[in-house]
């Protein structure tokens, strides 16, 4: 199929600052792709510092199918402070390294705008860049990240040294998401050099596919109690926690009207 992509950037007054139109031919080998599968293409537009509105429209040629997306964003002035940390871009990456050359489109990094992780995407990867005019001889940046849960309690933290080359650096972070349950989390990154620091933060989500039901025994018992018989409720109360998974499978297998089917 062929699609047309239009991207336009406006200032907050509604004046167009930049924009372009692209036409792409896409080959879809699977006529019924799985949920979450996406076509990725990177377009670059020059922008000016300040508060901006981005508008993207996608249309499939010849079918009338269209989609649109708008977002308010702010492009920072990288010359306004002695040390500036860019926005954090979530995705997945093919590189298992903290240190990368600048330019995420060419660093084996694949953005994930939904910032959602789970069974299909269990490894988080976060790209960022650092700019500075700090008069210090340091050859590295100290970068610390922390992952916070919805209660504000830290769940994970790490500090690493990022090469500083002519007042610039880039990094890929790999915050652990494998032990996180269903919910929304916040990643906070702080960078320091020569006694100066800056920070950035952004939220991400762990979807239900990462939730291990059997870690919460009260929830298992509560769910089953809605439909369990009296005999099953008695057995459930005395059941040890390490047997809940097997009990769960047997409980629903007894209620399967077609047990011979997969």
pLDDT value at residue 107: 60
CB 59 within 8 A of CB 66: yes
pLDDT value at residue 210: 54
CB 10 within 8 A of CB 17: yes
Q: What single string gives the DSSP state of each residue in 200-218?
A: EEEEEEE-GGG--GGG-HH
Taking alpha carbons only, the member of 113, 95, 120 closest to residue 34 is: 120
In this structure, what token pair is assigned to residue 152? Answer: 């504000």
pLDDT value at residue 56: 94
Task: Classify residue 19 by its DSSP letter.
Answer: E
pLDDT value at residue 47: 87
CB 100 within 8 A of CB 170: yes
HEC states along 78-146? CCCCCEEECCCEEEEECCCCCECCCCHHHCCEEECCCCEECCCCCCCEEEEEEEECCCCCCCEEEEEEE
pTM of the model: 0.67
Taking alpha carbons only, the member of 106, 127, 97 closest to residue 115 is: 127
In this structure, what token pair is assigned to residue 196? Answer: 């100066």
pLDDT value at residue 238: 82
pLDDT value at residue 98: 65
pLDDT value at residue 205: 93
d(CA 164, CA 186): 26
Q: Per residue of the chain (262 residues), give pLDDT as tens.
A: 889 999 999 998 999 999 999 998 887 666 666 665 667 777 888 888 889 999 999 998 888 899 999 999 888 787 889 999 998 999 888 766 666 666 655 567 888 888 988 877 778 899 999 999 999 999 999 999 999 988 888 888 889 999 999 999 999 888 878 778 888 999 999 999 999 999 999 999 998 665 566 777 788 888 888 999 999 988 888 888 778 888 888 999 999 999 888 7
d(CA 82, CA 84): 7
pLDDT value at residue 27: 75
Beta bridge partners of 116: 205
pLDDT value at residue 30: 65
Taking alpha carbons only, the member of 204, 115, 102, 220 closest to residue 162 is: 102
d(CA 90, CA 249): 36
């Amino acid at each position: 199929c062929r699609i047309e992509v239009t991207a336009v950037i406006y200032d907050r007054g509604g004046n167009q600052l930049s924009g372009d139109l692209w036409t792409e031919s896409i080959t879809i080998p699977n006529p019924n792709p799985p949920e979450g599968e996406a076509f990725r293409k990177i377009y670059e537009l020059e922008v000016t510092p300040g508060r901006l509105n981005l508008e993207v429209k996608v249309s499939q040629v010849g079918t009338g199918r269209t989609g649109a997306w708008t977002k308010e964003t702010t492009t920072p002035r990288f010359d306004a402070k002695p040390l500036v940390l860019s926005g954090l871009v979530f995705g997945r990456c093919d590189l298992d390294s903290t240190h990368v050359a600048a330019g995420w489109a060419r660093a084996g990094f694949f953005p994930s705008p939904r910032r959602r992780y789970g069974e299909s995407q269990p490894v988080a990867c976060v790209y960022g860049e650092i700019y500075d005019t700090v008069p210090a001889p340091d050859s590295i940046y100290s970068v610390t990240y922390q992952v916070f849960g919805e209660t504000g309690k830290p769940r994970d933290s790490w500090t690493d040294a990022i090469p500083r080359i002519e007042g610039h650096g880039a990094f890929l972070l790999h915050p652990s998401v494998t032990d996180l349950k269903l919910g929304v989390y916040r990643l906070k990154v702080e960078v320091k050099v020569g006694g100066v620091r800056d920070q950035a933060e952004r939220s991400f989500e762990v979807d239900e596919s990462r939730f291990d039901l059997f870690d919460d025994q009260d929830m298992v018992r509560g769910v089953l109690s809605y439909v369990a018989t009296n005999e099953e409720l008695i057995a459930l109360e005395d059941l040890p926690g390490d047997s809940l998974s097997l009990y769960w499978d047997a409980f629903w297998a007894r209620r399967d009207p077609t047990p011979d089917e997969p």
